[in-house]
């Protein structure tokens, strides 16, 4: 996605593009940690889906099947709220690949 310069941005910094929640990949905010889904521990309570602020928990036919890293910010709420005896979501360290800037 092309970044707009300050000359192109609307006054007030409003995001005036309809459907921007789909095109803005909030997963690019993630740094350091990401959730890992462990299906064999999952009791399908859907708490993670309920609490995720970015709808990044993937559900198919009423069951959690994974995590959409394009939108996951790594906030850790899903892992925190997972009530399974053996956690079905754990936060793991993530290598960060800088895509722009950083002088590399
Ligand atoms: S870490 Fe946060 S954003 Fe990512 S799936 Fe869990 S609740 Fe959603
Ligand atoms: S909160 Fe944990 S046990 Fe419940 S559906 Fe999500 S991963 Fe599975």
What pLDDT digit, counting tens, does each position of 3-33 carry? 888 888 888 878 787 778 788 899 998 989 9
Number of structural domains (the chain) is 1
Please tell me the distance between residue 91's alpha carbon and the centre of ligand 1 in angstroms: 10
Range of the domain at 74: 24-93
Q: What is the pLDDT of residue 95?
A: 80
56 lines ligand 1 (CB under 6 A): yes
| Ligand nearest to the Cα of 68, by number | 1
- Name all residues whose Cβ lies below 6 A of ligand 2: 42-48, 64, 82, 84, 88-89
More confident residue, 31 or 55: 55
| Domain annotation covers residue 101 | no
pLDDT in tens, 60-100: 999 999 999 999 999 999 999 999 999 999 999 998 665 65
Give the model's confidence band at 102: pLDDT under 50 very low, under 70 low, under 90 confident, else very high: very low
For residue 75, give the CATH number of its domain: 3.30.70.20
Ligand 1 probe mutation, 26, 64, 77, 81, most atoms within 8 A of CB: 77
| Domain annotation covers residue 74 | yes
- Residue of 40, 41, 36 lying closest to 79 (CA atoms): 36
> What's this model's pTM, rounded to 2 decimal places?
0.80
| Domain annotation covers residue 3 | no
Please work out, in degrees rounded to the nearest 5, the angle formed at the alpha carbon of residue 55 by the alpha carbons of 51 and 92. 75
Task: Spell out the residues 6+ positions from residue 53 whose beta carbon is closer than 8 angstroms to its own.
Answer: 73, 75, 77
């Amino acid at each position: 996605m092309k970044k707009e310069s300050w000359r192109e941005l609307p006054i007030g910094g409003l995001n005036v593009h309809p459907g921007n929640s789909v095109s803005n990949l909030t997963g690019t905010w993630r740094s350091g940690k990401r959730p890992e889904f462990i299906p064999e521990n999952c009791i399908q309570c859907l708490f993670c889906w309920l609490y995720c602020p970015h709808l990044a928990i993937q559900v198919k036919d009423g069951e959690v099947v994974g995590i959409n890293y394009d939108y996951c910010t790594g906030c850790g709420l899903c892992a925190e709220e997972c009530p399974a005896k053996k956690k079905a979501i754990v936060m793991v360290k993530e290598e960060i690949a800088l895509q722009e800037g950083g002088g590399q």
